[in-house]
Structures are given as structure tokens and as C-alpha cells.
């Protein structure tokens, strides 16, 4: 009977050792799987961040180009307006002086009211 108890204890101990070894193996596998999952998520995040960065840079460049075009267009319009004004002054100098005088009088009246 004593032998049966010893054998029974040995069997139980061996079963516990097998369960413990199996559990250790499963934990290591889980750890490995989590590491792989973390790397995959990190890689996906980096790719999406790179895509967003590229899209943002392209959009920014498009807007800068549009702004430069608008500035160039405004500059051309301003230069044209100056040329037109100069031409008008050269063609009608007396009228130009009278218009400038009238604008000065109106401005003075508006300022004196304030």
C-alpha cells in the first residue's frame, strides 16, 4: 500500500510537471505572438504615418504653388494699374491734378469730422 501511495504521488507530481511545462511553453508562445503582433502594428502605424506625411507635403506644396501664382497675378495687375495711371496722367495732366486736389479736399473733410 505504501508503494501505491508513493507511486500515486509520483504520478501526480509528474502530471503537475507536465502541466507546468506545457503552461510555460504556452506562455512563451503567447509572448512570441504578442511580440509579432506589436511589430506588425508598429509597422502598419509607420506606413500610415509616412502616407499621411507624403499627402500633407503634397497638399502643402500645391497650396504654396497656388499662393505664388496668386501673388504673381496680383503683382501683374498692380503693375498694369500703375502703367494705366501713368499713361492717364501723361495724357491729361490738368484733369489729373484737379482729381488729386478733389481727393485731397474730400479726405481733409472726412478727417476733420472724425
> Which structural domain, as residue segments, surrounds residue 47?
2-113
Distance CA 67, CA 58 (A): 14
Using DSSP, state whether 1 is helix, strand or coil: coil
Render pLDDT for 26-45 as a digit per residue (tens, 0 to 9): 999 999 999 999 999 999 99
CA dihedral 30, 36, 39, 45 (to 10 degrees): -90
Please give the mean pLDDT across all residues of the chain: 88
Per-residue pLDDT reduced to its tens digit, 42-74: 999 999 999 999 999 999 999 999 999 999 999
Instruction: Tell me the CA end-to-end span of the chain in Å, nearest whole number.
Output: 119
Give the count of domains, the chain.
Answer: 1
Handedness of CA 25, 26, 32, 35 (dihedral sign): negative
Amino acid at each position: 500500500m505504501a508503494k501505491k501511495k508513493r507511486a500515486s504521488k509520483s504520478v501526480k507530481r509528474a502530471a503537475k510537471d507536465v502541466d507546468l511545462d506545457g503552461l510555460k511553453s504556452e506562455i512563451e508562445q503567447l509572448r512570441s505572438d504578442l511580440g509579432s503582433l506589436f511589430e506588425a502594428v508598429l509597422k502598419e502605424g509607420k506606413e500610415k504615418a509616412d502616407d499621411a506625411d507624403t499627402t500633407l507635403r503634397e497638399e502643402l506644396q500645391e497650396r504654396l504653388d497656388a499662393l505664388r501664382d496668386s501673388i504673381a497675378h496680383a503683382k501683374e495687375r498692380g503693375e498694369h494699374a500703375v502703367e494705366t495711371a501713368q499713361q492717364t496722367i501723361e495724357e491729361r495732366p490738368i484733369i489729373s491734378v484737379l482729381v488729386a486736389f478733389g481727393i485731397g479736399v474730400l479726405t481733409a473733410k472726412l478727417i476733420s469730422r472724425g
